[in-house]
Structure 1
């Protein structure tokens, strides 16, 4: 997937605003089970929020990078403990602006 443009990121941030986190990263950290759950959520929703329990900002940034690398998703936003990522489905339901 090619990187998102600023306009596309802004559009996706707007869509994500009212969504609830569908995956939680708890005390165990980013385990294979969590990555598998993220994969399932991306397949079902394209755009997902992830709640990260770590208080360390550096750790959350590292998790976001690792999640995107493992899943082929693009980072949309990170605000505090909430990470937002996007990966289009085979038949995308979300139409991105050009």
Structure 2
């Protein structure tokens, strides 16, 4: 569980990142989860955008992605989700 200070720090790091994955009208699936899991292991911090043609609730999508990837939900801003997961092998971010 991240503290407020840690979330603020991660939000500042994520500000300049571009979304890596997009959730479209088909929603989330095992294939997408597997790719997000692989990418977040390398990056630790990433953005996922939700396209306009997706009619699901963005909060439900964010919770599902965080839960299935074992990551922490940092923020939902607009249609962008920020996820963080400490890497086992490629640790780059030092949390305050």
Aligned residues: 94
Aligned partner of residue 95 in structure 2, secondary structure: coil
Alignment RMSD, CA only? 1.3
Aligned partner of residue 57 in structure 2, secondary structure: helix
Paired position in structure 2 for 1:88? 86
TM-score where L is the length of structure 1: 0.89
Paired position in structure 2 for 1:5? 3
Out of 72, 76, 94, the residue aligned to residue 70 of structure 2 is: 72
Paired position in structure 1 for 2:32? 34
Paired position in structure 1 for 2:22? 24
Which runs of 5 or more structure 1 residues have no equivalent in the other structure? Answer: none
Paired position in structure 1 for 2:44? 46
Distance 1:39 1:59 in 2: 21
1:31 positional shift: 1.2
Distance 1:4 1:37 in 2: 23
1:44-72: per-residue Cα shift (whole Å, max 9, x none)?
1000000011565x611001111111111
1:17 positional shift: 0.1
Q: Which runs of 4+ in 1 moved over 2 A?
A: none
Aligned partner of residue 94 in structure 2, secondary structure: coil
